[in-house]
Amino acid sequence: MSIGLGMPGIRPTIDLATRPASPALIDRFGRVATDLRVSLTDRCNLRCTYCMPADGLPWTPTADLLSPDEIARLIGIAVRELGVTSVRFTGGEPLLRADLVEIVARTAALDPRPEIALTTNGIGLEQRAVALRQAGLNRINVSLDALDDEAFTRIARRPLLRRTLAGIDAAAAAGIAPVKINAVLVSDVEVDPVELLQWALARGHELRFIEQMPLDADRSWRRADLVTAGDVRRRLSERYTLVPDSAPREGAPAQRWHVHPLGRADTAPLGAVGIIASVTEPFCGDCRRTRLTAQGTVRACLFSHDEVPLATALRTGADDDQLADLWRAAMWAKPAGHGIDRPGFAPPQRSMSEIGG
């Protein structure tokens, strides 16, 4: 049997005959996915230059998005049958879903209950942080690329810094700790990583720098322009002493560093910082992620060129065992790595906000 399984858009090139009879989401390279990213919408209220075009994208009609029932059913299959232990809701902007609190609550009611996380730009979080916490949200990452209005607006193309900051404060006040802050540095807008780190340390948030990947809708990513993990570490090391966290990384994208006052690694750390070097120090060999797009297709990798339309199968009557097997087959086809540095690399057709970051 081939991976195509009669589904449109799936290249019938991967032989499934060699797939082991494992219940887990195992791939041809022995990696097992336990961490599920669910995109709840491809809509967004920002237009970050590294993600969306200035004019936005044709949004998926609301009726075609996964419904709360479908989300609960698919995540239920993932945790009961496929070994998924953690779920992160993302997008687009997941706070644009009016039913987000319900989706979190239904996920929290599953048995076994997965860890539940959210990645958001924080706009509107001020009004919903407490309800999300009460619904069972365990962890949150809020994206914040700059601390001054002008730089934020140049990157996000919307003057909404204050609302993101209010969302971060609300998440912390609701007891979601630590709040993690995601920052992508771009070469054409000057942002001081030390200033961002000082700001995060002062509030007890954990900052994570993310290297920009070629997933922008504008296709303007250039390897030569990249602000690299090495650049960030160099800048931070002028001000702090960074000591690598010795705890096992367990497939986490971020390498964690304990942050000490400069030259004082012997003192208690001021906090921690994570650096996600997806491009220059890829961690594909230990990837544990599987993805559901907002339309309910499975993507084995951010950089996959193929998707398996799980929601189509669900809507045409597939039972849980059939859906689980489709999901396993999709993951079996996962590529070894993103290959950004290889000659002939082609970014996926869909950009970050459409895939779900």
C-beta of 44 vs 298, nearer to ligand SAM: 44
Q: Which residue is nearest to ligand SAM (CB)?
A: 357
Min dist. Cβ of residue 137 to ligand SF4 (A):
18
Gyration radius (Cα) of the chain, Å: 20
* Angstrom distance (rounded) from CA 346 to CA 357: 18
Smallest separation (angstroms) from ligand SF4 to the CB of 51: 3
Asked whether position 209 contacts ligand SAM by CB under 6 A, the answer is: no
Q: Taking CB under 6 A as the rule, does residue 168 contact ligand SAM?
A: no
Rounded to whole angstroms, the Cα distance separating 173 from 132 reads: 12
What is the closest distance, in whole angstroms, from the C-beta atom of residue 281 to ligand SAM in the complex? 14
CA–CA gap between residue 47 and residue 63 (Å, rounded): 23
Interface with ligand SAM includes 100 (CB under 6 A)? no
Decide: helix, strand or coil at residue 68. Answer: helix
CB 209 within 8 A of CB 273: yes
| DSSP per-residue letters across 221-246 | --GGG---HHHHHHHHHTTEEEEE--
Whichever of 43 and 328 has its CB closer to ligand SAM, that residue is 43
Nearer to ligand SF4, 181 or 201 (CB): 181
The site string for ligand SAM over 253-292 (x = CB under 6 A, - otherwise) reads ----------------------------------------
- Distance in Å, CB of 53 to ligand SF4, minimum: 10
**What does the alpha-carbon distance between residue 33 and residue 66 come to, in Å, rounded to a whole number?**
21
Task: Give the SS3 label for residue 32.
Answer: strand
- Is the peptide bond between 178 and the residue preceding it cis, with omega within 30 degrees of 0? yes
What are the φ and ψ backbone dihedral angles of 61, each rounded to 5 degrees? Answer: -60, 145
With CB under 5 to 8 Å by kind, the binding choice for 60 among ligand SF4, ligand SAM, none is none
Minimum distance between the CB of residue 250 and ligand SF4, rounded to whole angstroms?
A: 25
Which of 205, 334 has the CB closer to ligand SF4? 205
Nearer to ligand SAM, 170 or 215 (CB): 215
The reply to whether 340 sits near ligand SAM by the rule CB under 6 A is: no
The listed partner (ligand SAM, ligand SF4, none) that binds 52, CB under 5 to 8 Å by sort, is ligand SF4
Residue ranges binding ligand SAM (CB under 6 A): 44, 50-51, 90-91, 93, 119-121, 143, 182, 184, 210, 212-213, 215-216, 352-353, 357
